[in-house]
Amino acid sequence: MQSFEAAAHLADDVEFWYARDLQALLGYAKWDNFLQVIEKAKTAGQNSGQQAGDHFADIGKMVDVGSGC
């Protein structure tokens, strides 16, 4: 199993993780189940006065699909 440290990415001196990587590290087999956890975390942060955008970046990670032609 990969560690959280090994799954971290670094850009502009900011350490971050992709949700898809965390999903596997935390043992969630289905993305839909993990997405619910992310939404709950955003709500909990907002309820404590935090801005979700300061902690969660809504990004898309491109993947190669198809036959490769």
Mean pLDDT of 13-17: 91
Mean pLDDT of 33-38: 92
Q: Which residues pair with 9 in a beta bridge?
A: 16
- How many domains, in total, are found in the chain? 1
**Residue 46 is assigned to a structural domain of this protein:** yes
Mean pLDDT of 10-28: 91
Instruction: Check residue 10 and give its pLDDT.
Output: 93
More confident of the two residues 63 and 8: 8
Q: Is residue 66 pLDDT above 90, yes or no?
A: no
| Measured distance CA(46)–CA(64) in Å, rounded | 35
**Residue 33 is assigned to a structural domain of this protein:** yes
In whole numbers, what is the pLDDT of the chain averaged over residues?
A: 85
Domain residue limits at 41: 4-51
**Residue 61 is assigned to a structural domain of this protein:** no
